[in-house]
């Protein structure tokens, strides 16, 4: 997927724009600057790479997709929540309307429920108008194998402080890889150091959410000699799980056209595909903002933790009482959000609320995003961060990365990664004792 020869040739042209000096590398070493250089090179507008040609089966699959892209009038979070309950996958939120995906059955019921559908187009029309080809147009993004290979290389090249292990397997049997940074504990070994977790790709089509934690890992290793970074590496237990939903990721890119796949690859009782992993946690499971229709993009599943991917996170979190902070990356709304998302109201602890607000605001300053409580957008139950705070009192945040589409192109990756590094480092700085933000 990577055009390595082209990238290496062009890297010298763009390296002067990078702040950090490129260290000498062995043949198997990959630095953050090299990775960033790949992203810059792959997004240069004068590179002509032929696009893939869809075969008849791939085109037929797009034509058979019964989803619609719709814009519906909705003036507040309560109306948006009702749309989620009805089965709409809300993608874009504006002052008095929302846009997103619905299947035909849901579309047929919206008017009956009092909603005004301002516009609609079939999935085939939407893909024709807005779709991006893959992999040629966006080849800088890491697929599952490339992500796995990079994680293995990073762990091997930094073996004194890093290790790689699987937290479980997906519905299709892929390993869910976790890179651990700890100076005296490896793999699944216990640690008493305060822990921080970074998770990407709950949702398959949000490929940018894999790149941010993945490249942040590389940045940490490149800067492990810096005084502040060294302090965090020495004193913390850092976990990076960049791709929680690799089955969905691979499905989303396999035909040469994005499939707009949000869910995992569970075959449901009605033969539809997928459960929304970020509605499958046991935080008011199956309540507001979660659909019980299997063919909905926000289908919560038959029961909490019915999916191996979310069960893997459950086991991971419950086995590590030292975890203090968590960041779950998504796209695309330019926001830093904190609990509750599945409950209409603030968390009970005023002290914890102050910590959440302070940390979210600081990370928002670093990224240029907006800080808000998750339920300000809409109420959605079964969320990972709600569950992590509810059961383990982890200060858990949802970072909705920037952009104007799930598929914003390769050109946005470098800026998004660099914008989010400072926020991630800030979270590390608070992990030992999040309450120091308000002391």
Task: Give residues with Cβ within 8 angstroms of 263, minimum separation 6.
Answer: 203, 204, 248, 273, 274, 275, 276, 277, 297, 299
Nearest Cα residue to 319 out of 165, 126, 170: 165
Collapsing DSSP states into helix, strand and coil, what is residue 397?
A: strand
Measuring CA to CA, how many Å separate 120 from each of 95, 405, 406? 19, 17, 19
In contact, 241 and 200? CB cutoff 8 Å: yes
286: left (phi over 0), alpha (psi -120 to 50) or beta: left
Q: Give the C-alpha separation, 268 to 249, whole Å.
A: 18
Can you state the angle between helices 208-222 and 32-42, rounded to 10 degrees? 140
Q: Give the C-alpha separation, 171 to 157, whole Å.
A: 31
By DSSP bridging, strand 117-122 and strand 67-73 are antiparallel
Note the maximum CA span of the chain.
65
- In the sheet that 370-373 helps form, which strands lie side by side, from edge to edge? 162-169, 175-181, 237-241, 195-199, 323-331, 395-401, 335-338, 370-373
400 is catalytic: yes
In contact, 134 and 49? CB cutoff 8 Å: no
- Which of 307, 309, 372, 400 is labelled catalytic? 400
The encoded tokens of residue 247 equal 């089955």
Beta bridge partners of 257: 133
In contact, 76 and 119? CB cutoff 8 Å: no
Rounded-to-10 torsion of CA 157, 160, 161, 162: 50
In contact, 341 and 380? CB cutoff 8 Å: yes
Token pair 């492990």 in the structure block, residue: 224
- Residue 291's Cβ-count burial label (10 Å; 0-12, 13-18, 19+) is buried
Could you list the active site residues? Answer: 400
């Amino acid at each position: 997927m990577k055009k390595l020869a082209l990238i290496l040739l062009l890297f010298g042209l763009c390296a002067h724009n990078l702040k950090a000096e490129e260290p000498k590398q062995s043949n198997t070493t990959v630095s953050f600057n090299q990775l960033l250089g790949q992203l810059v090179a792959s997004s240069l507008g004068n590179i002509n790479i032929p696009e893939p040609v869809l075969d008849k089966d791939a085109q037929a699959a797009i034509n058979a997709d019964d989803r619609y892209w719709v814009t519906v009038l909705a003036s507040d979070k309560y109306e948006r929540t009702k749309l989620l309950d009805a089965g709409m996958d809300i993608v874009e939120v504006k002052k008095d309307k929302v846009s997103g995906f619905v299947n035909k059955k849901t579309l047929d019921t919206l008017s009956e429920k009092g909603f005004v559908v301002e516009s609609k187009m079939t999935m085939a029309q939407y893909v024709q108008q807005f779709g991006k080809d893959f992999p040629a147009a966006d080849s800088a993004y890491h697929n599952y194998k490339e992500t796995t290979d990079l994680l293995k290389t990073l762990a091997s090249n930094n073996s004194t402080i890093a290790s790689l292990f699987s937290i479980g397997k997906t519905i299709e049997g892929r390993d869910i890889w976790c890179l651990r940074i700890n100076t005296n504990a490896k793999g699944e070994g216990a640690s008493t150091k305060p822990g921080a977790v970074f998770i990407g790709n709950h949702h398959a089509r949000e490929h940018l959410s894999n790149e941010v934690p993945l490249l942040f890992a590389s940045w940490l290793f490149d800067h492990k000699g810096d005084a502040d970074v060294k302090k965090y590496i020495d004193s913390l237990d850092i976990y990076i799980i960049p791709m929680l939903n690799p089955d969905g990721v691979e499905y989303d890119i396999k035909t040469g056209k994005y499939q707009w796949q949000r869910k995992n690859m569970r075959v449901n009782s009605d033969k539809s595909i997928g459960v929304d992993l970020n509605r499958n946690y046991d935080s008011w499971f199956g309540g507001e903002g979660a659909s019980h229709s299997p063919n909905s993009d926000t289908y919560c599943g038959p029961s909490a933790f019915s999916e191996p991917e979310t069960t893997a996170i459950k086991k991971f979190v419950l086995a590590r009482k030292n975890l203090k902070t968590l960041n779950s990356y998504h796209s695309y709304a330019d926001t830093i959000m904190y609990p509750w998302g599945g409950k209409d109201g603030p968390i009970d602890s005023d002290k914890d609320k102050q910590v959440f607000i302070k940390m979210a605001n600081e990370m928002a300053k670093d990224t240029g995003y907006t800080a808000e409580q998750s339920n300000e957008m809409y109420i959605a139950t079964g969320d990972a961060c709600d569950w992590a705070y509810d059961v383990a009192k982890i200060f858990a945040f949802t970072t909705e990365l920037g952009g104007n589409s799930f598929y914003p192109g390769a050109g946005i990756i470098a800026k998004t990664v660099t914008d989010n590094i400072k926020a991630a480092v800030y979270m590390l700085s608070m992990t030992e004792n999040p309450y120091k933000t308000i002391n």
